[in-house]
Chains A and B, each alone.
Chain A
Amino acid sequence: MEPEKAATEGARASSGGGEGGADGSPGGGDLDRLSALPDSLLHTIMSYLKARQAVQTCLLSTRWRHLWHSMPCLDVDHDEFRTAASAPSNHHPPAANPDYSDSDLGSYDEDSDDNNDDSSVNDREWDDFEDFAENLMHRCNIAQLETLRLHVNRSRAPRFADKLAGGWLRRAMKYCTPDPPRQREGMSHGSWLMKRMYLCNVALDNRFSNHLLSVCLLLEDLELDDCSCEIRSISSHSLKTLVLKNCRFRILSEITSPTLKRLVISGGTNSDDYVLVIVAPKIVHLGLDVSLRFARRISGSKQQQRRRPATARASVPAFGGWEGGGAAPDYSLDFTKIRAARMQQRQRKALSWSSFVGNATANGVAAAPGAGDEGDEEKHQWSSTASERDDDGERRRRHRPRHRRVRSDAGDRDDREPIRPPPKLVHDSADYYSSTGNFT
């Protein structure tokens, strides 16, 4: 870049550039075919890169300087910072984030020693990621994104990382609107343009679910992975695919989407005091791979049927719902997949079922408070494999009476159907499930 100091814009375009990169370029001749592509294609290309590298493309040339501002997809990935941490060099540019330095360090010091690496390296990795993610989500208009992927790696993050990540998202929900002049007013007007969202290890609360329902009006795909969710309902008017993997729910009692076609719940927990009612009249594919304890409290609802009694439609079969259904749906396709996925996860006693529901209707509910003994046994086996969840469970057990009261206060929700099938049926279905779980 020697001669460029005095160069004007016009001279630059025709000059050979100071970098001398042309010599080594393979097959491309002298042409820069990449930069010649239209913005939309460069955006597509950048959307396959992780967010930090995508931002760093601004250094390539003036053509690239502002492209990252308007990227439609952000892939904010904790793992992208792994190499930075494992690099031998120890120089952390102190000027990078002077205002951050020791604000929160104390809160996660104790966590860093479960990693064999030097703890300061681990901290630095998180600092870098946090600084990056905060700045990026501050500068990009999240409301204009088509896809957002926010991935925090729990094994290498401090203890409250999921809360921090939830905070970034909340900030975006509060301030980002697709209409830039209105930004920073603190009020969201207009809907977000987002179509897909993937969140891994992010703490979510009811503000998120409200946002989902009232602002993310175009959202079609949502995947929550390993998230702790203090949310009561997941409701949307546009969601088509919903995947919930290993999420720690506590009060989830409703999944409602008139457009939902695919629902996968894999692993995870919910409080015993809530029955999860799923209202998804257009569902095509339902996959459940959860503990018996959780599955017993999942139910399809007839809410929609009551409103439109005449329409023939597919609905979610409740746990046990196929028993009286006569024709057995074909589970085989999914069982192989679910089994494979389950092997990858921890070995826990789980039950799995899923189906391609054709015209099956919801006709049963799996709330069986009478079967407490078996439930506890199940929980015990579960918790022996995952100590954290055990803690969770203990806490829940201690608080159970209070939750019960809350539940009975809200007992007038009419459309739920806490049917209690005869105990025998429950046992039958439990047997059925554990046997299908081993089915090969």
Chain B
Amino acid sequence: MEVDKGKGEAEETRKVAEADRDTVTLKSSDGKLFEVSKEAAARLSTVLAGMIAGGSIDDNGTDLKQIGSEALENVVDYCNKHANSIPSAALISSSISFNTAPFKEPEEWERKFVDRLSHDALFDLVEAANFLGMERLLDVTCHKISEMMKGKSPDQIREVFNIKNDYTKEELEEIRQELAWAFYDD
């Protein structure tokens, strides 16, 4: 299944390379323009795919008012990198065992891609990916956020993400009793 898909993707990218620069122009909320390959945009984003198919792409820059220029730059960067990445390594490694996690582990470049982002840029990117319906990018960014939570106590997580504890002492105690089976080592 994945083999076929991989081949398909490779063919697609080749086609795009042959058909001279078939791109879409996107406009961020603050008016900056970005170009991205039509093929990558359609493949990675359900929303852009719908816009392309529906002909609602503006040659002078399709307005994406919800997305700031920094986030949009990351989105475009991700699309370009994704088009250039070679999926074969992941394919081979998945041939005998498969991942039961909801998605395949992020690849090395995807890991690096999200690792360099600042806290705010990461969340901007999550929101942009959510808005554009970019499944894979959402998975990668959400995975990154979960890595930031992994193995941390609730107090530590609150600190990292600046979550305000709005429980009362009594409520906390109530939850701890109700869910005693989930809290042993406190």
Contact = CB atoms under 8 A, between A and B. Distances in A.
B96 A22 contact: no
A335 B100 CA distance: 23
Contact of B161 (A5, A34, A135, A149): A34
A93 interface: yes
B154 A57 contact: yes
A35 B159 CA distance: 13
For A22, A56, A73, which residue has the most chain B Cβ atoms within 10 angstroms?
A56
Most chain B beta carbons < 10 A, residue from A16, A35, A44, A240: A44
Contact of A48 (B101, B155, B163, B181): B101
B127 to A, nearest CB: 8
Nearest to B169: A1
A338 B119 contact: no
B interface majority secondary structure: helix
A285 B4 CA distance: 11
A397 interface: no
Contact of A65 (B143, B170, B175): B175
Interface in B136-173: 138-139, 142-143, 145-147, 149-151, 154-155, 157-172
A221 B168 contact: no
Given A5-B169, A45-B146, A49-B146, A56 B95 contact: no
Nearest to B124: A33
A136 B159 contact: no
A58 B154 CA distance: 9
A341 B97 contact: yes
Contacts of A75: 101
A26 B100 contact: no
B19 interface: no
Nearest to A18: B165
B162 A31 contact: yes
B92 A333 contact: yes
Interface residues of B, number: 56
A58 B171 CA distance: 11
A32 B157 CA distance: 11
A138 to B, nearest CB: 9
Dominant SS among interface residues on chain A? mixed
Interface stretch (A84-92, A173-181, A268-276, A370-378): A84-92
Contact of B126 (A31, A41, A128, A333): A41
B96 A287 contact: yes
Contacts of A338: 96
Contacts of A38: 130
B162 A96 contact: no
Interface string B46-79: 0000000000000000000000000000000000
A235 interface: no
B169 A60 contact: no
Contacts of B167: 1, 4, 59, 61-62
A409 B96 CA distance: 37
Given A17-B164, A27-B120, A45-B145, A58 B179 contact: yes
Interface of A: 1, 4-5, 7, 12-13, 15-19, 21-22, 24-35, 37-38, 41, 44-49, 52-53, 55-65, 73, 75, 83-84, 87, 89, 92-93, 95-97, 128, 131-132, 134-136, 146-147, 149, 196-198, 221, 223, 240-241, 243, 245, 261-262, 264, 266, 284-285, 287, 289, 333-334, 336-338, 341, 356
Given A19-B164, A25-B160, A84-B185, 14 more contacts: A1-B165, A32-B163, A32-B164, A34-B123, A45-B149, A84-B184, A97-B181, A136-B181, A198-B100, A243-B98, A261-B1, A285-B95, A334-B95, A341-B97
Interface of B: 1, 3-4, 92-93, 95-98, 100-102, 118-120, 123, 126-127, 130, 138-139, 142-143, 145-147, 149-151, 154-155, 157-172, 175-176, 179-185
**Closest A-B pairs by Cβ, 9 of them:** A17-B164, A48-B146, A198-B100, A25-B162, A27-B119, A135-B181, A33-B123, A34-B161, A59-B154
14 contacts: A1-B169, A19-B155, A25-B162, A30-B162, A37-B126, A37-B130, A47-B102, A60-B165, A73-B102, A97-B181, A198-B100, A221-B98, A221-B100, A333-B92
